[in-house]
Amino acid sequence: MRHVLGVLGVLAAAVLLAVSAAMNWRFGYSLGKTELDGVIYGSASAAADCFKALVPFFFFAAIRNRMWSQAAASAVVWVVVLAYSLTSALGHAALNRLDTTGQRAAHAQSYQDLRADLKRAEEQMSWIPQHRPASAVQAEIDSMKMQKVWNWSNNCTVIKGNQSRDFCQKLQGLASELASADQAIVLGKRIDDVKSKLANANANGTHGSNTQADPQAAVLAHLAAFVGLGKIDIQDMQTALTIFVALLLEVGSGFGLYVAFSTWRLHDREAPSAPRLEPAIATIAAPAVVRVAQRAAPATAAVAIANDNRNVPVQKLVAPETDVERFYKERIETTDGSSLTATALYEDYIAWCEDHEKEPLALPTFGRDFSELGVQKAKIAGRVRYIGVALKSGHVSDDEKRPTVTEPVNAAQAA
């Protein structure tokens, strides 16, 4: 499960980094006067944005290794690249928001105009008198023009008698009906065209009920007023949203990879457990215990034990693999009557780690691992001391050079 979360986190951080790098590329490319200059500036901007995501690894690694100059340099570089990337992100976000809000406002206004045009066309359609289809009216007019009265009246320009008057009046009424039918056809086509445009506008997400150019900023401004934050102008809310989007990209791309890789604990060193030593080997690492046992045993028994091959350890020591074992092998020697304080031992271990460019363990962890090597530990005079060991380097204080007294020695044993 930990690896799955780590992979998902790395993928999400990589997407944010890719988006931020693309924004920096566009910003840098716009700075060039020529095509080559644009490519140069764009490449430098994208590289700086990618380096921004790697600086946290360098910065905290320098702090762990106590390389303060490198940590300070990493901090300066990170501030510079972050500021540059933030400016490009702000510019890109602001430009896109302005373009989007402008297009949305234009679409909303166009939608309102179409609705008004449709309403006017429908009202004009309602004003047209009742009429028959234009084809039927035109057919009747053509049939009337075939009559003799049409010729007698000289195309209804000379009215003589009641017959020609009635004929021309009827023909005039048919002409009016034909004009109404033609006007209805034109308005019908106009209404159909407007309705088609409105349908396309609805399909594209433009609705006449939403007249706000930036609905998100408007809703957040109303919400701020509702929760008691006061009246916030929509333009101020748009600026805040632009800053928020830029910060999202920069913080996500700057620290996303570092946070995602934390699940794998890249800087932890899981050293194998120290090998368990047999009792005969343990006597070498703890001479004080052996010394007490030899004093209590008879001399003949000691000779018998020394000549008994069954007590010789069959197993061989495994070569040191952990840093603590290597430190023990290179810097520690077993010396009867000697002892080391835990503080002096740990300080020498820190110096050994610095010489070998290794990350030292914490004092409690080091003490536990060192004790597992079989070294006896005791608290003497209020200080924790390791019995029977000394530093090969010889850089110990006078207090460390004094022999450790584990028990009183009588005159017979001294002899």
pLDDT in tens, 126-139: 998 988 998 999 99
- Please tell me the predicted confidence (pLDDT) of residue 205: 62
Asked if residue 208 is part of any domain, the answer here is: no
**Pair (380, 250) in one structural domain:** no
Structural domain for 389, as ranges: 279-414
Asked if residue 270 is part of any domain, the answer here is: no
Asked if residue 111 is part of any domain, the answer here is: no
Burial of 331 (0-12, 13-18, 19+ CB in 10 A): middle
Of the chain, the percentage scoring pLDDT greater than 70 comes to 76
Cβ atoms 20, 86 nearer than 8 A? no
Q: Region 76-83: what's the mean pLDDT?
A: 86
CA distance 385 to 345: 9
- Please tell me the predicted confidence (pLDDT) of residue 18: 86
Asked if residue 344 is part of any domain, the answer here is: yes
Give 350's pLDDT tier (boundaries 50, 70, 90): very high
CA distance 336 to 403: 8
CA distance 150 to 137: 17
**Pair (80, 219) in one structural domain:** yes
**Pair (191, 299) in one structural domain:** no
**Pair (364, 331) in one structural domain:** yes
- 148 or 400: whose pLDDT is higher? 148
Asked if residue 120 is part of any domain, the answer here is: no
Asked if residue 53 is part of any domain, the answer here is: yes
Which domain CATH number covers 337? 1.10.10.10
Of the ranges 48-57, 89-98, 115-124, 298-307, the best mean pLDDT one = 115-124
Of the chain, the percentage scoring pLDDT greater than 90 comes to 9
Q: Is residue 269 pLDDT above 70, yes or no?
A: no
**Pair (285, 381) in one structural domain:** yes
For the entire predicted model, the pTM comes to 0.38
Q: What is the dihedral of CA 365, 370, 373, 377, to 10 degrees?
A: -110
Nearest to 224 by CA among 213, 215, 233: 233
Asked if residue 297 is part of any domain, the answer here is: yes
**Pair (352, 405) in one structural domain:** yes
CA distance 277 to 372: 9
Q: Is residue 211 pLDDT above 80, yes or no?
A: no
* 157-175 confidence digits (pLDDT tens): 888 888 888 889 888 899 9
* Mean predicted lDDT score pLDDT of the chain: 76
- Please tell me the predicted confidence (pLDDT) of residue 212: 63
**Pair (250, 284) in one structural domain:** no
**Pair (256, 178) in one structural domain:** no
Asked if residue 372 is part of any domain, the answer here is: yes
**Pair (366, 329) in one structural domain:** yes
DSSP class of residue 160 equals -
**Pair (285, 402) in one structural domain:** yes
Q: Is residue 104 pLDDT above 90, yes or no?
A: no
**Pair (88, 228) in one structural domain:** yes
**Pair (220, 181) in one structural domain:** no
Number of domains observed in the structure of the chain = 3
